[in-house]
Chains A and B, each alone.
Chain A
Amino acid sequence: MPSVITANLLRSGAVAYLAADGRWVSTLCDAVVADDAVSFNTLKAAAQAAVESSEITAVYAFDVHVVDHVPQPISVREAIRAATATAA
């Protein structure tokens, strides 16, 4: 299953996704998708480095569907995180 690495930015707590260029972005559509174990481990190492440099916290990976090259969350939880709170 393709996956995306997410975390919260340490200073703001905001939801962030790891992008292909190593930046942490706020939108899931800009996240890089790991398709296999090799790419996943590469991304995981990049995330660990960001944890150690105090840029992010609470890092984990979650499964996605990829539709037209764009990752889509599968779980409700990740859909809500990607959309910010659905309550208003």
Chain B
Amino acid sequence: MYKYDDFDRTFVADRAQQFRDQVGRRLAGDLTEEQFKPLRLQNGLYLQLHAYMLRVAIPYGVLSSRQLRQLALIARKWDRGFGHFTTRQNIQFNWIKLDDAPDILDALASVDMHAIQTSGNCVRNVTADPYAGVANDEIEDPRIWAEVLRQWSTIHPEFTFLPRKFKIAITGAAEDRAAILFHDIGLKLVSGAKGAIGFRVFVGGGQGRTPYIAQELASFIPRNELLSYLEAIMRVYNMHGRRDNIYKARIKILVNALGIDEFRRQVESHWGELDKASINLPVAELSRITAQFSQGPLPKRENSDDAIKARRLRDRNFDRWFRTNVRPHRVTGYSTVNISFKKPGKIPGDATAEQMEVVAELAERFSFEEIRVTYQQNLALPSVAIADLMSVYDGLVVAQLETANTELITDIIACPGLDFCNLANARSIGIAQEIAQLFADPSIAEEIGPLRLNISGCINACGHHHVGNIGILGVDKKGTEHYQITLGGSPKDDAAIGEIVGPSFPAEQVPSAIRAIVATYLSQRISPSETFVVAYGRIGKDPFRSALYDAPKLSHTIDSALEVTHV
């Protein structure tokens, strides 16, 4: 993984020192809140309902064991013993004191971390395929370019006061696991003519109040011209993006107002005028960054293991975990392990200090000291030898992290909601906990099959409800928490924005509504291989509407629906 050089370290340490000074002046009364607020936000420090919240950047979701241990220390020393992994592959600490924030930034800087650009109208943390560099369907490791973009966009003077925040996602794989079509800019590494590698560029995607699927801006931009091309996009946005209305300020609004063809024309016009050579990355610098991600050949390990086969036969839980949470690796003899932070009944994405330390140790022993944060609020160990899987599993069991539900209905994305967030209209966490407990039997969740269920506590959509196969949005209806349900969304290559199925439900009715939706799917699917989102595409929302709003059918149970599918 990328290692800071002296320039990086000095920069981050200086920023921490600057913030210490700013906090000191605020506490002394030399800065008003109005003056201080933009300074604290530039360092990821928000004021939420009960306390300050610190959002720490985890560039493209890559962490070392040392860094994860430091996050555990921060959780224990300055928070209440836990942190919350976010849909931006970051971590948030929810119970921070302003007094402590400078010490925390120093602690982060000591392990090459910071909270810069985790807030504000700037380019936010660049997110990436969580399996970058190890996926078996990858053209090229996108971490290299994510790091290039991190360096390019960090305190870039032109991009410090954009009309609104700006999110970039990147993948190098055939399958989109980074939701690139729901970002301001989505980048996909592709092969071009004569073996050249470049980027397919998408623009104008996003969720929030006005969800859009990104549109293709360019089918192939050579790698070495990426930065100048992106700079041209940013210039068009910076010039024409609306600053008069916060709800219309994202690039998606501009792209759709101009139309993709006119937007493209303007980008290409600017691109043609730029001094590209002064913007594009020098070959030597690209080589330097690339070398940092070069792991060299992994030690040779066996591709199969008799002990694992035997364990799978005698240990049903291990067998299920192996099926659901372990995925192929590009190197024979290795696999990637998904670590679920979605144990039914627990808060999605929350990790205790002890759990972080367990994962850090497992990564140290079995995954070359590297951890990934997924936007589904889980962690992954990218490179685990197949022969070590039992040891990893047994280590996870100790920390209650062996839940076998990757991409299943209990792998719920949920924002912090009204329990913590100043923007929320309704609680997300409690609803997520109730739904997960409804499907807590892992055999039922597995029988239901791949199903994304996402919950947001407000229309800002941090919980990605628009792209949930089942999406739940918390709304304020005359002072009470209600939940609007959408169906058919997808964050993947079959990108879709969910459709509102009907009137919202009060909180206490949401679990039974979800049960009715799932029962309807199970009774309607052609076979177990027809996933929820595929079945929805075939049958539409009418059967679900009927199940939800025709009272007698609410009595459907999952068990009876499963029986139907087994006939």
**Residues of A with Cβ closer than 8 Å to B?**
8, 10-15, 51-54, 57-58, 74-77, 80-81, 84-88
Measured between beta carbons, the chain B residues less than 8 angstroms from A58 are 33, 47
A11 touches B49 (CB 8 A): no
11 other A-B residue contacts (CB within 8 Å) besides A76-B480, A85-B420, A87-B427: A12-B99, A13-B52, A13-B97, A53-B29, A54-B27, A58-B47, A81-B50, A85-B94, A86-B430, A87-B417, A87-B433
Main secondary structure on A side of the interface with B: loop
Q: Quick check: B97 and A12 within 8 Å, CB to CB? A: yes
Q: Is the CB of B29 within 8 A of A13?
A: no
Q: A54-B26, A57-B33, A87-B430 are in contact. Are A12 and B479 (CB under 8 A)?
A: no
Residues of chain B lying within 8 A (CB to CB) of residue A14: 50-51
CB of B98 within 8 A of CB of A12, answer yes
Residue among B50, B98, B481 having the largest count of chain A Cβ atoms under 10 Å: B50
Complex contacts, B413 vs chain A, CB 8 Å:
none
- A10-B98, A74-B479 given as contacts; is B50 within 8 A of A84 (CB)? yes
- Give bound CA distance, A80 to B507, whole Å: 15
CB distance from B32 to the nearest CB of A (A): 9
Contact of A8 among B27, B47, B99, B420 (CB under 8 A): B47
CA distance A66 to B318 in the complex (A): 56
Residues of chain A within 8 A (CB-CB) of B50 are 13-15, 81, 84-85
8 Å CB contact of A87 from B347, B479, B481: B347
Flag whether B96 is at the interface (Cβ < 8 A): yes
Tell me whether A11 and B479 are in contact (CB under 8 A).
Answer: no
A11 touches B481 (CB 8 A): no
Output the least CB separation between A6 and chain B (Å). Answer: 11
**Could you say which residues of chain B place their CB within 8 Å of the CB of A81?**
49-50
Most chain B CB inside 10 Å of its own CB: which residue of A14, A57, A80, A87: A87
Give chain A nearest CB distance to B516 CB in angstroms: 25
Q: Is the interface of B mostly helix, strand, loop or mixed?
A: mixed
Which B residues are CB-close (under 8 A) to A86? 419, 427, 430
Chain B residue total in the interface (Cβ 8 A): 30
84-108 of chain B: CB within 8 A of chain A: 94, 96-99
Contact of B49 among A10, A12, A15, A51 (CB under 8 A): A15
* CA A86 to CA B430, docked complex, whole Å: 8
**Complex CA–CA separation, A88 to B82 (angstroms):** 11
Q: A52 contacts which chain B residues (CB < 8 A)?
A: 29
In B421-435, the 8 Å CB interface with A consists of: 426-427, 429-430, 433
Contacts A14-B51, A15-B49 given; does A76 touch B99 at CB 8 Å: no
Quick one: closest B residue to A84, CB to CB? B50
Q: How many angstroms between the C-alpha atoms of A76 and B132 in the bound complex?
A: 42
Bound-complex Cα distance A58 to B33 (A): 8
The residue of chain A having its C-beta at the shortest distance from the C-beta of B94 within the complex is: A85
Residue B28 at the chain A interface, CB threshold 8 Å: yes
| Interface presence of B418 (CB below 8 A) | yes
Contacts of A84 in B (CB 8 A): 50
Task: Give CA–CA (A11, B26) in the complex, Å.
Answer: 10
Most buried by A among B49, B52, B94, B476: B49
Q: Could you tell me if B33 and A76 are in contact, using CB atoms closer than 8 angstroms?
A: no
